[in-house]
Structure 1
Amino acid sequence: MNEGTPKISNIVLRNIVLDTYAGNAVFIAGLPESMIENVRLENVSAIGKYGLKAYNIKSLEMINVSVTSREDEDYQFHRADLTR
C-alpha cells in the first residue's frame, strides 16, 4: 500500500429492492492490500443473474438481507468478515 492506494470505509446501503438480469445482485470488493471497512447492508432484497459477492471486507453486517441468484450461489464471500 502507498499514498495512491484508496481507503474506503463506513458504507451503509439501506432499504433497497432490485432485480437485474445482467449481472450481480450485489457486488462489493475491496483491494487485497486495502480492504473496505465497516459495510452495513440493511433491508436489502436483491435478485440477479449472479448473487451477492463480497471480497476483501473487514466487518460486513447484514440485517434483513435476502439475495437470490438465477445462475450461481446466492452468497459468495472471500476475505469478508461477517458481523452480527
Structure 2
Amino acid sequence: MNLVMLADYGSVAFGAISAFCWLAAAIVKVDPPENLRGKPDGDYWDGIVVNGADLIKTLRAQARWNSAAAIAAAIGAILLIVSKTA
C-alpha cells in the first residue's frame, strides 16, 4: 500500500469519525440533577432544565463532541490534501 492510498483511506476514515461525532453532538442529552427530574422546563437554583435535560451540562457535552468532530474533519482534510498533492 502506498502513501497516497493510505492518505485517501485515512481521509475517509476521519471523515466518518467526524460525522459520527457531529451526530453524537446533535443528540447528546445530559439528565438534570435528581431533584429536578420531572419538573417543567425553567430556571432553578440547581440548574436550568430544557426539554428534560440539564442545559449547561448538555451544552458542555455538545462542545466536547463538536471539538472532536472539528479535529477529525481537519485531519481528514489534511490527509486529502496530502493524497492529492503527492
What is the TM-score with the length of structure 1 in the denominator?
0.22
The structure whose Rg is larger is 2
Structure holding more helix per residue = 2
Structure holding more strand per residue = 1
Work out which structure has the larger RCO, using CA pairs closer than 8 Å and 6 or more positions apart in sequence: 2
